[in-house]
Amino acid sequence: MDFTLNDEQRQIYEYGGQLAQKFDNDYWLRHARKHEFPHEMFRQIADDGFLGIMVPEEYGGAGLGMTEMALFMEGTANHGIPLLMMVVGPTMSLAHIASHGSEFHKKELLPAACRGDIQFCFAITEPGAGSNTMKATTLAKRRGNRFSLSGEKTFITGAEVSDYCLVVARTKPHTEVSRKTDGFTLFAVDLKKKGVDKQRVKISIPLPEEQWTLFFDEVDLGPEDIVGEVDEGFSILFDSLNPERIILAALCCGIGRFALNKGVSYASERNVFGQPIGAHQGVQHPMAKAHTAVEMASLMTRRAAWEFDNKLPAGASSNMAKYAAAEAGIEAVDAALQAHGGSGFTEDTGLYEMYPLVRLLRTAPVNRELCLSFIGEKVTLKLRSSKGSSSLKKPKSGQSNCPPRKE
């Protein structure tokens, strides 16, 4: 594994600086405070060819991988431009439609999505099935070779600006399957279809992307709407979770770096008693500690992305990256706020607004406890296999995989 970026990767990573020349943190904050989607910025990202990073060239994308997607996200967040729609659309939806979608999806929807003409969101969480996706009740009933979709999904990012939604539904109720992972099917649902409705979920975090609850009332779907195989969607769903953890880890690392750059700049310029406050170890050490945590999390994120791109088991690394990056991001923003003192909480500084987002990402879309449970189980399994220990209790069946999550 080589951590040296090639020229193309370096350009992707540095694109955030280029984007910020026109759409900077102030632009992001203006939209975040009003919960207003930054259409102009996304148009620019689309025109520059970054919406289709993980989509094959034959369908209008760049034909790159998770590593490049993570570099893009971290690079933009480095400049205070965290983009959640890049998580649910280009990362979680487009990449998997490229691998498992129908010919209609690949030849019609993907090129349009890469151009920015249409957008995708992703729907898995339900009011009664957050982390435990196995209990999902949204059901697509068979009607000949068609399906009737009914149910409810919540905490759906960006539904108000999306044209299609990649919906995780059951085509067999969980009470009728022999294995709890059976009976899942993914559908690319046109949100303009009859029977689709939505309601805003009011959140207190300043973000340009809003959260929504989607309602499906006997929405008619055909074979062309299916992504993958009927009843076999869980494997696709599970494949989407590692990229989600990796991309959000990259976002947290970028936010942490953005906050620390602000903190270091302020500590270098703010003079008290004849010298910069940054000359004091009491100011230096918290930011040095946070900087170390951010850089370590960034390295773990790149390892997880490398494993995913090379089709290696990436679950443990992805969960480690998500856990470490969220904690590092929180620590970095907190250290920068502490260095700023009272001014860190003013709108002019534009720093405090980063804190609710990184704090959210400790809890969602998968909380740190579930990440640690997954990591802990992998460690115990490794210890058991290497030492042949019988003193470690084997986890109960079904307790292993860090389950799907809250969106």
Assess contact for 63 and 53: CB atoms under 8 A: no
**Torsion, Cα of 76, 315, 119, 181 (10° steps):** -160
The confidence score (pLDDT) of residue 18 equals 97
The confidence score (pLDDT) of residue 387 equals 64
Chain segment 359-402, per-residue pLDDT in tens: 999 999 989 999 999 998 877 777 667 665 444 454 444 443 44
Cα–Cα distance measured from residue 253 to residue 259, given in angstroms and rounded to the nearest whole number: 10
What one-character DSSP code corresponds to residue 105?
I
Q: Which residues contact 255 (CB under 8 A, 6 or more apart)?
A: 77, 80, 82, 329, 332, 333, 354, 357, 358
Q: Specify the DSSP element, H or E, that contains 8.
A: helix 7-20
The confidence score (pLDDT) of residue 400 equals 38
Q: Is the bond preceding residue 365 a cis peptide, omega within 30 degrees?
A: yes
CA distances from 61 to 49, 85, 164, 197 (A): 7, 17, 18, 31
| Burial of residue 329, with CB atoms counted within 10 A of its CB: 0-12 exposed, 13-18 middle, 19 or more buried | buried
Assess contact for 320 and 300: CB atoms under 8 A: yes
Chain segment 36-76, per-residue pLDDT in tens: 999 999 999 999 999 999 999 999 999 999 999 999 999 99
Assess contact for 90 and 69: CB atoms under 8 A: yes
What are the chain's domains? Answer: 7-118 (1.10.540.10), 122-231 (2.40.110.10), 235-387 (1.20.140.10)
Task: Decide: pTM greater than 0.85.
Answer: yes
With CA atoms as reference, report the closest residue to 188 among 205, 207, 169.
169
Assess contact for 65 and 54: CB atoms under 8 A: yes
Q: 143 forms bridges with which residues in the sheet? A: 146
Assess contact for 294 and 261: CB atoms under 8 A: no
Assess contact for 186 and 192: CB atoms under 8 A: no
The confidence score (pLDDT) of residue 398 equals 40
- Residues in the chain predicted with pLDDT less than 70, given as ranges, are 130-131, 383-384, 386-407
